Amino acid sequence: MARRALGPDRIEGMTYIGWPVPEPQIPAETDPVLAHATRAAVRAFADARKAHDRAALAEKVQMGADGTPTMRLDILVDTAVAESVTENKVNLLSEELGSIDNGSSVTLVVDPVDGTANAAAGVPLSAFAGVVAVDGVAKEALTCWLDTGRCWHAIAGQPTPYRTSGREKLDGAAVSVLRPHGFDENAWLAVARRAARVRILSSSCIEAALVAEGSTDAFADTGSDTHRIMDLAAAMVMLPAAGGAVLDVHGRPLEIDPDLSKRWSGVAAATRELAEELAETIANAIQK
Amino acid sequence: MARRALGPDRIEGMTYIGWPVPEPQIPAETDPVLAHATRAAVRAFADARKAHDRAALAEKVQMGADGTPTMRLDILVDTAVAESVTENKVNLLSEELGSIDNGSSVTLVVDPVDGTANAAAGVPLSAFAGVVAVDGVAKEALTCWLDTGRCWHAIAGQPTPYRTSGREKLDGAAVSVLRPHGFDENAWLAVARRAARVRILSSSCIEAALVAEGSTDAFADTGSDTHRIMDLAAAMVMLPAAGGAVLDVHGRPLEIDPDLSKRWSGVAAATRELAEELAETIANAIQK
C-alpha cells in the first residue's frame, strides 16, 4: 500500500508517523562541523520514521553509554552523528555511544534526539542539540526542532538575536518542568503553585530554547537529577548569550565531562535572579 | 529597522514573535464554509503576530462571551472568523463573540485560538478548531495547528485515516493534562502517579488531535471544570471517528449549547475503557 505524503498513517496494522521532517534551517554562521552533524542527524531521523513504525522506533535495543536503555530511534540517529564527526575528525560525546576520541581538541557534545519518547510516539516536540567544545569549554550551540526545522544558534560570549523575557520573580512566571517523579512531588508542587503557567513539553532542549527566545520564563528539573550534560550543554551556551542563566538546583558546577553517569537538576531561566529563586525553592522543598 | 524573515526578533525594545505562520494544510474534502473560516482565522493570526508584540497580543482588552477576559489576539482572530461566517450566511458559536445568528440551520462552533496563552507568548502550540453543527448536532471537525499548518479533519460516523493507540488501561499510559489548580491537586497526582508519561502542552485541541492520531493515549482535565464546549467540540467528532471516546469526568452530557457559562472536565482517550478509567480515577480522588 502506498504511503500518504502527509498526515498520520497506518499500514498493515502498524502505525507509522506520517508527518514530514523538514530541512533544518541552520544559520549560515554555524560551525561547518556542527552543521554537518546536524544535517546527518535530521536525515537519519527522517529515514528512521519512514522505515519504522512507532513501536519499532521506541523499542529498547541496547544499553546506552549513559546507563539507560536506548531506543532504536536514538541508535539510528546517534550512529549517523558518529559517522559525521569521524568524517570531520573531531571527537564526540553523546548520550548513547558515549565518548569517541578522534584525536581532536574539538568535541561535539550531542543529544541526537532530545525528547526521544515524544519523537518515537509522534508527539511533535523533539530536537537535535549539539555543542562545539574546545578543550572542554563550550563555544557554540545549535538546537534544531526536528518536527519543524526551526533552529536556535548561539556563540558563547556573543549576544543572540533573540533575548529572554527578563523576568526576575517566580510568582507569576511561565515555567516548564519535568513531570513529578514521586520523591520530588513536594518540590514540583512548590514551583507549580507559584507559577502563572506550568508546562511539561518533555523536550529539555526545546524548552530551554523557548526560555532563550523569551516565550517562557524558565525551565527546571525540580530535583529529580534527570539531566545529563547533553540535556544542558546547548542551554549553557544559549541562555547566557540571550540574557539568561543556567545552573544546578544543588549548586553543582555544570561541566562537560565524559563521565556520563553524572546527573544534574538543571534550571534554565530568563535571568540569574529567577534561576536562583527557582533553585532555592526546589532545594528547600526537597529537604522537607 | 527591517524585520528578519525568520526567527525571533526584538524591535525597539518590543519582542515580536518572528517565526512564520504557514498556510493550513486543509484536506480537500473539508466543508467549504469551515475551510473558509479556517483560512480567515490563520490569516488574522499571522497578521496579528506581524502587527503586535507579545505584550500587546496578550493584553486583556475586553470581557469574552464565555465570561473570561479576552486577549487582543483572540479578538482579532475571532472577528475574522465572524466576518467569514456572516459572508457565508451560517451561524457562529465562539468563545469570545458568543452566539451570532445568521438564520441558518448550520452553526460553526469555533475555538479561534486554542492555547491562546501559548500563542501570545510564542510557545508554538496553538490551534484553530472548528466544528460544523447542523441543528445542534456536530457533523464535521477540523483542527489546524497554527504554528505548522498541520490539520486533522474528521466527519462524524466516518473512519479517519489516523487511529488512536487503542490503549485501554491507565497504568503505563501517556496522558496529557491541564496544570493542577490547587483544589484538584489530589486528582492530578492520582493520574500522574499511574501514567508512564505526563505532558502539559496547554492546547486542548492539539492534545486531543494527538490522542486521535495515536501519539498519546489520553487527555484530561483532572476535575477543574475548565473546558468550554469549544475546547471539546472538535474532539467530540474526531475521537469517536478515530476509535476513541470523549466524556466528562462527572458524566454530564457533552452538548453544543449557546450558554457559554457551562463548563466540563473533559476526558479524551484512545478507547472508551481508558476514558472511563480516567474519569473514575479523577472523580474518586476529587471526592477525597
User: Can you tell me which residue has the cell 512566571?
Assistant: A173
Kind plus residue range of the DSSP H or E element containing B93:
strand B91-94
Does one domain contain both A145 and A181? no
Q: Give the closest residue to A148 by CA, choosing from A120, A164, A127.
A: A127
How confident is the prediction for chain A on average, in pLDDT? 93
Count Cβ atoms below 10 Å from residue A257 Cβ, excluding itself.
15
What was the pLDDT predicted at B14?
53
Does one domain contain both A128 and A180? no
Instruction: Give the whole-angstrom CA distance, residue B200 versus residue B251.
Output: 23
Instruction: Give the whole-angstrom CA distance, residue A283 versus residue A194.
Output: 15
Instruction: Give the whole-angstrom CA distance, residue B68 versus residue B20.
Output: 29
User: Can you tell me which residue has the cell 481508558?
Assistant: B274
**B interface with A, Cβ–Cβ below 8 Å:** 4, 6-10, 15, 17, 19, 25, 54, 117, 121-125, 147-148, 150, 161-163, 165, 174, 179-180, 182, 185, 189, 192-193, 197-202, 210, 213-216
Does one domain contain both A134 and A261? no
Q: Work out the burial of residue B158: count CB atoms within 10 Å of its CB; fewer than 13 is exposed, 13-18 middle, 19 or more buried.
A: exposed
Q: Is the pLDDT of residue A245 over 70?
A: yes
- Give the count of domains, chain B: 2
Residue B29 lies in domain: 9-155
Taken as a whole, chain B contains a residue count of 288
Are B143 and B128 within 8 A, CB to CB? yes
Mean pLDDT over A152-181 rounds to 96
Chain B residues inside the 8 Å CB shell of A54: 214-215
Chain B residues inside the 8 Å CB shell of A193: 182
Q: Work out the burial of residue B139: count CB atoms within 10 Å of its CB; fewer than 13 is exposed, 13-18 middle, 19 or more buried.
A: middle
Which of A17, A25, A201 is nearest residue B201 as measured by Cβ atoms? A201
Q: Is B158 helix (H, G, I), strand (E, B) or coil?
A: coil
Q: Has residue B160 been placed in a domain?
A: no
Q: Is B103 helix (H, G, I), strand (E, B) or coil?
A: coil
Does one domain contain both B149 and B39? yes
Q: Which of B87, B122, B155 is the last residue of a domain?
A: B155
The C-alpha R_g of chain A, in whole angstroms, comes to 18
Instruction: Give the whole-angstrom CA distance, residue A194 versus residue A214.
Output: 19
Which residues are paired to B198 by β-bridges? B175
Q: Which amino acid, one-letter code, is at B168?
A: E
**Widest pairwise Cα distance in chain A:** 58
Are B6 and B19 within 8 A, CB to CB? yes
Helix axes B272-287, B185-194, angle to 10 degrees: 140
Between these two residues, A8 and B1, which has the higher pLDDT value? A8
Say which range, A9-13, A233-237, A263-267, B128-132, has the weakest mean pLDDT. Answer: A9-13
Does one domain contain both B26 and B149? yes
Which of A117, A180, A198 is nearest residue B197 as measured by Cβ atoms? A117
Does one domain contain both B195 and B150? no
pLDDT digits (tens, 9 = 90+) for A253-277: 999 999 999 999 999 999 999 999 9
Are A3 and A13 within 8 A, CB to CB? no
What was the pLDDT predicted at A66?
80
Instruction: Give the whole-angstrom CA distance, residue B99 versus residue A203.
Output: 39
Between these two residues, A91 and A14, which has the higher pLDDT value? A91
Q: Has residue B169 been placed in a domain?
A: no
Does one domain contain both B89 and B128? yes
Instruction: Give the whole-angstrom CA distance, residue B162 versus residue B243.
Output: 9
Q: What is the sign of the dihedral through the CA atoms of B20, B205, A18 and A70?
A: positive
Does one domain contain both B14 and B140? yes
Q: Has residue A135 been placed in a domain?
A: yes
Does one domain contain both B150 and B14? yes
Q: Give the closest residue to B66 by CA, choosing from B208, B266, B226.
A: B226
DSSP letters along chain A, please? -PPPSSS-EEETTEEE--S--PPP---TTS-HHHHHHHHHHHHHHHHHHHH--HHHHH-EEEE-TTSSEEEHHHHHHHHHHHHHHHHTT-EEEETTTEEE--S-SEEEEEEEEETHHHHHHT-S--EEEEEEEETTEEEEEEEEETTT--EEEEETTS--SS-------STT-EEEEPPP-STTHHHHHHHHHH-SEEEB-S-HHHHHHHHHTTSSSEEE--S---B-HHHHHHHHHHHHHTT-EEEETT-------S-TT--B-EEEESSHHHHHHHHHHHHHHHH-
Q: Has residue B163 been placed in a domain?
A: no
Q: Give the closest residue to A138 by CA, choosing from A153, A113, A119, A155.
A: A155
Which of B6, B124, B202 is nearest residue A25 as measured by Cβ atoms? B6
Are B233 and B154 within 8 A, CB to CB? no
The CATH number covering residue B241 comes to 3.40.190.80
Q: Which of B104, B120, B155 is the last residue of a domain?
A: B155
Count Cβ atoms below 10 Å from residue B177 Cβ, excluding itself.
26
What was the pLDDT predicted at A288?
61
Instruction: Give the whole-angstrom CA distance, residue A262 versus residue A255.
Output: 10
Are A125 and A203 within 8 A, CB to CB? yes
Q: Has residue B258 been placed in a domain?
A: yes
What was the pLDDT predicted at B288?
60
Kind plus residue range of the DSSP H or E element containing B118:
helix B116-121
Q: Give the closest residue to B230 by CA, choosing from B274, B184, B262.
A: B262
Q: Has residue A169 been placed in a domain?
A: no
And the C-alpha cell for A62? 541496547
Determine whether the interchain pair A185/B189 forms a contact, defined as Cβ–Cβ distance below 8 Å: yes
Count Cβ atoms below 10 Å from residue B59 Cβ, excluding itself.
16
Instruction: Give the whole-angstrom CA distance, residue B100 versus residue B109.
Output: 11
What was the pLDDT predicted at B12?
36
Chain B residues inside the 8 Å CB shell of A120: none
Q: Has residue A162 been placed in a domain?
A: no
Does one domain contain both A30 and A138? yes
Instruction: Give the whole-angstrom CA distance, residue A264 versus residue B242.
Output: 41
Helix axes A229-241, A204-212, angle to 10 degrees: 10
Does one domain contain both B91 and B196? no
Q: Has residue B165 been placed in a domain?
A: no
Does one domain contain both B138 and B59? yes
Determine whether the interchain pair B198/A200 forms a contact, defined as Cβ–Cβ distance below 8 Å: yes
Buried b (16+ CB within 10 A) or exposed e, A3-42: eeeebbbbeeeebbbbbbbbebebeeebbebbbbbbbbbb
Determine whether the interchain pair A8/B162 forms a contact, defined as Cβ–Cβ distance below 8 Å: yes
Instruction: Please give, rounded to a whole number of angstroms, the shortest distance from the CA of A33 to a CA of chain B.
Output: 22
Instruction: Please give, rounded to a whole number of angstroms, the shortest distance from the CA of A124 to a CA of chain B.
Output: 9
β pairing state of B91-94 and B106-114: parallel
Q: Which of A155, A183, A200 is the last residue of a domain?
A: A155
Chain A residues inside the 8 Å CB shell of B193: 182
* Low-confidence residues in chain B, pLDDT < 50: 1-13
